Amino acid sequence: MKPQTAKSIFQYLINTPILDNEQFLHAFNSGSLKIIEIDNENRNTNFIISLENISILLLKQVSQNSESRKKSLINEANFHELLIENNLESTFVFFDKVNFIIIHKFYNKYNSIKVELFSNYGSSIKFARDAGIIVHSFHDRFSKIRKKNKYLSYYKPLLLDINTRNNLILKLNKIENINIRSLTDFIEKEEELFEEISKLWICDTIIHRDLKFDNFIINENEDFKLIDWELAALGDRYWDIAGFIYIFIKEKSGSFYTELNKYLSLTNLLAYANEFLNIYRTRLEVSEEVFFKKVLVFFTIMLIENYIAGVENDKWDEPKIHLEYQRVLYFKRLIENFNSSDFSYSSFL
């Protein structure tokens, strides 16, 4: 069965014995049951099911018959199994391995972040601050879990592993694009630089790997929660930190981001990013130099890899390709001085 509509989801939930059908039917009979399709992304179909005033269900299903997307959903289920085994809070309720459906339960009314949140500077700063606390908290908590590799795999950026880097170079040599050619030459020439940066990678916790506005939800008390752990892996916390900063500079498509761009001036973006970084660094208790140098380097690696993926997958038009390349060049020049006395992390923000 493939529930893709509110009606078919209702029928599916009635026939799912692991759920509290009594509560579900009571919500239906009282008229409080609501099934709402939320901002669906390419890889999943998502629905919020309001049961009563006290709880909601989030149902997520792979929207296309893709093995990689099925694998991602299995990975999210594994992540929550790991939390449950270690007596940590989990929203996980049920994973249907046949239809590739995962269901979460929240005991407060959480909703997607609305664009209006960013129309108010104070609310935006609060989001950045709370995000810093949330991300540091789960990194710290998950670093203490033993036998994490029982459920999750290890992750390392393509450019920081010699084998995947060499394979990437072979693939890039087949792409006829002057910017990609220049980047390929840089990657081949600076092998020692990438090996030095690779030594910074410490696989010490579980990382989310997909920190973006869409994956934070908010309740009536303006408390945020991070969801969507499909890409969770064992890795370096600084990759998540760099990833969160990346969402503030990455130009995205879609109605949400079209509206959002009205409120995200460069000045405000820098303020939000700095708020997040300073909150996280204070809790991590490391020096500014150590912290910002590593964030800058990983951010640049992420920028290069995402640029390559964007060109390789024909995601962008020519003006976009040129704009993104100028950004890559700026940060590439910064990390070229990684081992010299001229290196300055203050150029980052």
> How high is the pLDDT of residue 312?
85
> How high is the pLDDT of residue 344?
62
| H or E segment to which residue 60 belongs | strand 56-62
* Core vs surface per residue 172-192: b (16+ CB within 10 A) or e: beeeeeebbeebbebbeebee
Q: How far apart are CA 160 and CA 200, in angstroms?
A: 10
What pTM does this model have? 0.88
CA–CA distances in Å: residue 311 to residues 75, 164, 177, 299, 304: 27, 18, 9, 18, 11
- Are residues 81 and 75 in contact, defined by beta-carbon separation less than 8 angstroms? no
Q: How far apart are CA 222 and CA 267, in angstroms?
A: 24
DSSP states along 218-244: E-TT--EEE---TT-EEE-HHHHHHHH
Q: How far apart are CA 267 and CA 287, in angstroms?
A: 25
CA–CA distances in Å: residue 178 to residues 285, 318, 325, 348: 43, 12, 11, 26
Q: How far apart are CA 180 and CA 178, in angstroms?
A: 6
Q: How far apart are CA 343 and CA 346, in angstroms?
A: 9
Half-sphere exposure at residue 344, Cβ-oriented, CA atoms within 13 angstroms: 4
What is the residue-level pLDDT of the chain in tens, covering all 349 positions? 465 677 888 888 888 766 666 777 778 888 888 888 876 556 778 888 887 666 778 888 887 778 888 999 999 999 999 999 888 888 888 899 988 999 988 877 777 787 778 788 888 899 999 999 999 999 999 999 988 999 999 999 999 999 999 999 999 999 888 899 999 999 999 999 999 999 999 999 999 999 988 888 888 788 888 989 999 999 999 999 999 988 876 655 455 555 666 666 767 777 888 999 999 999 998 998 889 989 999 999 999 999 999 888 877 778 778 888 888 888 888 787 766 666 666 555 5
Nearest residue to 282 via CA among 125, 121, 142, 135: 135
DSSP states along 307-348: HHHHHHTT-S-HHHHHHHHHHHHHHHHHHHTTTSTT--GGG-
**Cβ-proximal residues to 301 (8 Å cutoff; 6+ apart), any chain:** 157, 159, 160, 197, 242
Q: Characterize the bridge pairing of strands 34-37 and 44-50.
A: antiparallel
Amino acid at site 165: R
The neighbouring-strand residues paired with 225 are: 217
Cβ burial, residue 220 (10 Å; 0-12/13-18/19+)? exposed
> How high is the pLDDT of residue 332?
85
**Cβ-proximal residues to 148 (8 Å cutoff; 6+ apart), any chain:** 82, 142, 206, 234
Domains of the chain: 6-109 (3.30.200.20), 113-347 (3.90.1200.10)
